[in-house]
Amino acid sequence: MGLMDWLFGQFIDIIEWKDNTQDTILWRFPRDDGEIKYGAKLIVRESQIAVFVDKGEIADILEPGTYTLETDNLPILTDLRHWDHGFKSPFKVDVYFINTKLFSQKWGTKNPIIVRDKEFDSVRLKAFGSYEFKVSDPKKFIREVVGTDGHFTVDEVDTQLTNLILAKLPVILAQSGESVLDMAASYEKFGEFLKGKLQEDFNNYGLKLDKLLVENISLPEEVEKAIDKRASRKAVGNLDEHMKYQGAEALGSGGGASEVASIGAGIAMANEISKSFNNSSVSEKSGSMPPPVPGSKPFYIVKAGKADGPHTIDDIKTLIANGQLKPTSYIWQEGLEGWVKASELIGDLFKTTPPPIPNA
């Protein structure tokens, strides 16, 4: 390398930052102890700001555009260096480029937050979301956050900002007074309220919190299972009423024996499911299951075109004795595919049951 090449290499005549990253907030131009030539060209692209720092003191800030560096567009630096009568010599100064675009990051609770709840007394919650921020005050950002770092990325400030969010979140959830079951409808409101509470903290870092979203508030797995179980019980109760309604509709519309049998089986099934869940509730409260009811499976008969029951074996004997149940009447019991004639299922009872007592 010749002497002239070395000399020209010590003078910087173009200063620019071609950002090829997605996460760099601040980048210092590599001067390598060289001097900036008087009249050098400075290129500040869109979503960038150039900050001149002289001996640790922030001087001039230039927004997007192309500049010829002279005393006219560096007034603060001119004053700091006492360039009262113009200046033509090279000079040394640090030039920082700041990315002013929006940066989007995720946030989430590492540990559950315990809050009071009107439905569950107290619960542990986890919350997740995202936020967007950008540099709004370059001087404050360099002083309070960056320091002398020459390459500052989003990851270096993300932990600080996330901690700010998580510090405010428990207070906001506690003050809301809403049940966990109703919080899903208030995510947007939580986000706006949280953003308002955090903006001053972000301002202290020279940042603007542009958007904050609450995307999910979740319960512990065991609580979610309990909610699902309670919802299932309610669904079974509704199924019971629905099946009875369908049975009444089918019988009232003159449905045939096969349809009657199908509806009767559905009613019995709904009743059995309902009893099963009711027994489950008793078990949870008392800690043990009740013993089975003694006796045979109940019977159902067709009475006035509708399913009637359940009846015990003693009820059936009384109906036969009173003449209300005949061998040709239809009857059903759990385990049968459909309704059958009474003589086919309990024919022996018609032979053994005595007739009614006279004048009784």
- The hierarchical CATH code for the domain 103-222 is 3.30.479.30
Tell me how far apart the alpha carbons of residues 233 and 280 are, in angstroms, rounded to a whole number: 10
Going from N- to C-terminal start, the domains of the chain cover 3-99, 103-222, 237-286+296-352
Beta-carbon count within 10 A of 143 CB: 13
Tell me how far apart the alpha carbons of residues 339 and 298 are, in angstroms, rounded to a whole number: 14
Q: Report how far apart, in Å, the C-alpha atoms of 145 and of each of 27, 130, 148, 168, 201 are.
A: 14, 21, 9, 21, 13
Q: Which residues of the chain have pLDDT under 50?
A: 1-8, 281-287, 289-295
Q: What does the pLDDT look like over 34-46, one tens digit per residue? A: 799 989 999 999 9
Structure tokens at 194: 């949280």
Among the listed residues 310, 355, 308, 360, the one whose alpha carbon sits nearest the alpha carbon of residue 329? 308
Tell me how far apart the alpha carbons of residues 167 and 155 are, in angstroms, rounded to a whole number: 19
Tell me how far apart the alpha carbons of residues 47 and 44 are, in angstroms, rounded to a whole number: 9
User: How high is the pLDDT of residue 242?
Assistant: 55
Q: 3-state secondary structure string, the chain? A: CCHHHHHHHCEEEEECCCCCCCCEEEEECCCCCCEEEEEEEEEECCCEEEEEEECCEEEEEECCEEEECCCCCCHHHHHHCCCCCCCCCCECCEEEEEECCCEEEEEECCCCEEEEECCCEEEEEEEEEEEEEEECCHHHHHHHHHCCCCEEECHHHHHHHHHHHHHHHHHHHHHHCCCHHHHHHHHHHHHHHHHHHHHHHHHCCCEEEEEEEEEEEECCHHHHHHHHHHHHHHHHHHHHHHHHHHHHHHHHCCCCHHHHHHHHHHHHHHHHHHHHHHHHHHHHHHCCCCCCCCCCCCEEEEECCEEEEEECHHHHHHHHHCCCCCCCCEEEECCCCCCEEHHHHHHHHHHHCCCCCCCC
Q: What does the pLDDT look like over 115-128, one tens digit per residue? A: 777 777 777 888 99
Claim: this prediction has a pTM higher than 0.75: no
